[in-house]
Chains A and B, each alone.
Chain A
Amino acid sequence: MPVEVKVDQDVRKIVRTLVEEKGPEKAELIPILHEINSELGYISDEAIKELSERMNIPSSHIYSVATFYRMLSTEPRGRHVIQFCESAPCHVAGGRLVWEKLQRELGLSKGETSEDEKWSLITTSCLGVCGVGPVLVVDNNIYGNVTPEQVPGILSNYE
């Protein structure tokens, strides 16, 4: 998901539209945060502030929720997010070697974003595609049965 930096005004407008669409009930908070995260690439301070006013929920609560869930980010991420599954089934199926190769290839460690903002490398718990482990996910594309040798080829698919 390519992400452009949106100016604050756009951010506020996106938040307003979402709250109007889904309603200001607290039960809609996580669905709305999901949408903001996928539109902006992350949940910015500006978005939290606007959301707090529109939904009448303290921004501290919104921040605590946004930082609790793995799929939501309060930090900007690279243009492409690589998620690597580090749960036991992928690990046993050879994930350890793929993970080492991935870090070497990108020059990044767990949780880091590259300087050119192209890549973010994060680890994740089980993604439920264990039948084809080791698994890595780039943006929304799932790669299964990955071997260390395949890593450079997979990465070259992305601009």
Chain B
Amino acid sequence: MKATRSMVLVSSDPESMDRGALEVFNRLQKQILAYGLQEEITLSMISDVSKKSANPLVLVYPDAVIYGSVTADDVPLIVEEHLYKGRVVEHKQISPYDLTGKIAWLTARKGTLPAEYRIVLKNVGLIDPENIDEYIINEGYEALGTVLKEMTPEEVYTEIKNSGLRGRGGAGFPTGLKWQFVAGTKSEKKYVICNADESEPGTFKDRLVLEGDPHAIIEAMSIAAYAVGADEGFVYIRGEYGLAITRMAKAIEQAREYGLLGEDIFGTGFSFDLHIHAGAGAYICGEETALIESIEGNRGEPRARPPYPTTAGLWQKPTVVNNVETLANIPAIIRNGAEWYKAIGTPSSPGTKVYTILGNVNVTGLIEVPMGITLREVISIYARGMKNGARLKIAQTGGSSGSIIPASLQDTPMDFDSYSKAGVSLGSGALLIGDENVCAVDLAKVLLNFFRFESCGKCNPCRIGNKRAYQILWNISEGVGTMQDLTDLSQLSDQLYELSNCGLGQTAGSPLHDILAHFRAEVEAHVKLKVCPTGVCQMSGRRAYQID
């Protein structure tokens, strides 16, 4: 994806619109085209970013220059002087104190446009994944050599702990700490499992790593095995990922041939071997205890915890379970050190994050950027703006088990802590971007349909709660909902969270909570006026007495 040189934002709150923001925007678009700058500059409208006196505003990023009371006639000068020649038009500038907190990032990160930074995807698309030599030439298996020859297991997990790496599967648990738990549990036999059952809707980052750089996972799992004292590992890949399974199988075979898997690796006496287990189509198997049950040949039903897999996992032995993206960070951390890693991203969430960008934007795909980028930046820079110039209405972060957020949260930095403070889940890194044609009720209905289908059925709150919530949303979307339904949805959301056995049920209620918190007016329109404001819902009057 091409990097953008500058971002130009025009305020579009009602005052700004009243004072000619649209003319300013159109003029900017024309002038940028006239100077042939359209490839380097993204132009977007943003809402509610300033105190009212100086609207409309034009913000230029990364320079962090703010122009106030801009009229269409000012535009040619700004484009020619600032965007073309790089000279700030001082007499139109205003103070950043006129801005509200919502775009605090503008001055805080002055001068830096977030660029792609590849650690996890370093080799993906660049090396031949079926040729181990290409991986080795690109620093491959160097970290494993260092670990086996120069470090004790304790030094390895301490290094990972110091790097601040947190699990990328969604929960954000510190990886080094998990390794330490398993290392500290006494057992003859221990296991390392790579969770590659990537089924969070909208997420395909792990697939690309498995398909494009399978040896990175083998190396990382070997390092993990050494750190915790395991000699056997499993890569649990979802059954739908045929190419990933083939590539991983081939990589394991090559690693065995080169003596990088098997007995006495590098002549150090350390032994480790790896198997692939293909899933058979069940979202719940991404939950680590369900995944373990599935490897053992059972239905993928999560276990009660504790005991956690770190003490009693696969066949009741201590087991480390790490996500693909988490593991792909390991070799680089060992090669470059914990300090190097900590300098990337934000202090509480070091490193990069791989995001999948989807929905009503011009460019969909995958990016790896330092933690802490904002949704606005993702949309404007990497996704090249909204499709058909529409406005962002709703976004879903982190896949089905993530959060539904309104456009007003698009300037919150995306890292574990800032997001959890705002009550948003970063989840798997899927970013589903929706424009004004997406209905909040319909989106929640699709999500609850997913959960009622994927619930394993073991515990009642999840099995019955999701079905009931789906029926209620169905009724609302068909124009037969009542205000009591909204109260019920809110209660169901709490009960799912508090009573469910595993993460699936606990997060299944968040779409309910989110649409009521952020899109209540739209939901009430379905109930009180029997109108779907976006025209998506059928409003047929049919009730959900009997849906399969």
Contacts and interface: CB of A to CB of B under 8 A. Distances in A.
B358 A71 contact: no
A133 B358 contact: yes
Interface string A47-71: 0000000000100010011001111
B29 to A, nearest CB: 26
A143 B226 CA distance: 42
Contacts of A89: 201-202, 358-359, 430, 432
Interface residues of B, number: 51
Contacts of A29: 297
B358 A93 contact: yes
Nearest to A37: B280
A130 B206 CA distance: 13
A71 B446 contact: no
Interface size classification for chain A: 35 or more
Contact of B365 (A91, A110, A131, A133): A131
B296 A27 contact: yes
Nearest to A93: B359
Contacts of B295: 27
Interface stretch (A1-9, A10-18, A74-82, A120-128): A120-128
B294 A30 contact: yes
Contacts of B202: 87-89, 126, 130
Given A31-B278, A88-B450, A89-B432, A125 B283 contact: yes
B299 interface: yes
Interface in B450-495: 450, 453-454, 456
Given A91-B446, A133-B358, A65 B204 contact: no
B282 A92 contact: no
Nearest to B300: A68
A72 interface: yes
Interface of A: 25-31, 33-34, 57, 61, 64-65, 68-72, 86-89, 91-93, 96, 110-111, 124-133, 140
18 contacts: A25-B297, A30-B294, A61-B298, A65-B297, A70-B280, A71-B281, A86-B446, A87-B400, A87-B446, A88-B400, A88-B443, A91-B443, A93-B359, A110-B548, A125-B454, A128-B203, A131-B358, A131-B366
Given A34-B239, A87-B446, 18 more contacts: A26-B296, A30-B297, A34-B280, A65-B298, A69-B280, A71-B240, A71-B281, A88-B432, A89-B201, A89-B359, A89-B432, A91-B442, A91-B443, A92-B438, A125-B199, A125-B201, A128-B199, A128-B240
